[in-house]
Structure 1
Amino acid sequence: MAMRFQRAFTLIELMLALMIAAILTSLAYPAYIDHETQAERLRAEVALMQLAAQLEVYFSDNNSYDGATIHSLHVAMLMQGLDYRLKIAKASDMHYLIRAIPKNSQAERDTDCEILSLSDTNKRGISGDGSVNACWR
């Protein structure tokens, strides 16, 4: 009876392929996390601008920003699935300041920008060590 040889991967070839895959993954994962952090920050910026638009509607109805809350503006849905908490930090007769405060893993990852803020004069701010222009796109 003649023996037939079957072609297969050797253990060394398999381990080499796994090692290459692990190296590629270790190089790609930080870039993926950075992209995810920036995308979530962008979602928070959009939510802040939508909140600002609702505050302007509130002002046109009441001639004041005073008394506006997240709940009275019916913008709680802006925070659904968002790794930021929206907050009206200050609302007076003529001015407001709103903030997007990171939570969960976003708070740990986004140390350059941290808290995003937007005022009634469209002044944008951050509480982190990064630059406003780099954080607000």
Structure 2
Amino acid sequence: MNRVHKEKGFSLIELMIAIAVVGILASIAYPSYQAQIADGRRADAQANLLSLVQHMEREFTENGTYIGASLPYNEAPRDGNAKFYDLSLASQAATTYIILARPKNVMAGDECGDMTIDNIGRKTAGAADCW
């Protein structure tokens, strides 16, 4: 009795097709993943800006002026080693201030660019839908 044994496994063509499909899926998914990471970093910077606004308002309540107030921290995020935004007082007067978040490191080329918030809550950024 002769039995014909069929080889089990993948042919080179099948393997190359599978690799091509995985490559195409990865090329679509990776930029979307990167955009989501950037959105998260931007949201963290915005949360820090809002926290600093509260700090400045407490300073004004205690002293009656924004002059002399300083920010309790100057980088975002506050935790971890990687810092993606520099935080600073862009301008400061007796009754007004502007807090600036400037992207740095891997966020330096972010489309939103610098984000600001002032004493009356006006928010600005490099693109319209960043806040």
One fold, TM greater than 0.5? Answer: yes
What's 2:130 paired with? 135
CA 1:77 to 1:125, structure 2 compared with 1: closer, same or farther past 3 Å?
A: closer
Which structure has greater helix proportion? 1
Residues 1-137 of structure 1 aligned to structure 2 (within 5 Å):
5-70=6-71, 73=72, 75-76=73-74, 78-80=76-78, 81=80, 82-108=83-109, 110-111=110-111, 113-126=112-125, 128=126, 130-131=127-128, 134-136=129-131
Give the paired residue count: 127
CA deviation profile, 1:35-74 (whole Å, cap 9, x unmatched) = 221221111111100011111111122211111222xx3x
Q: What is the TM-score with the length of structure 1 in the denominator?
A: 0.82
Q: Is 59-68 or 16-25 further displaced after alignment?
A: 59-68
Question: Taking structure 1 as reference, are residues 87 and 77 closer, same or farther at Cα in structure 2, changes over 3 Å only?
Answer: closer
Q: Tell which structure's C-alpha radius of gyration is larger.
A: 2
- How far does residue 4 in structure 1 lie from its aligned partner after superposition? 5.2
Question: Which stretches in structure 2 are left out of the alignment for 5+ residues?
Answer: none
Percentage identity across paired residues of the two chains: 32
Aligned-partner Cα distance in 1 for 2:21–2:68: 59
Deviation at 1:30, TM superposition (A): 1.4
| 1:78 to partner: Cα distance | 5.0
Residues in 2 aligned to 1:56 and 1:94: alpha-carbon distance in whole angstroms: 10
Kindly indicate whether the alpha-carbon contact (under 8 Å) linking 1:87 and 1:98 is maintained by their aligned counterparts in 2. Answer: yes
CA distance in 2, matches of 1:58, 1:106: 30
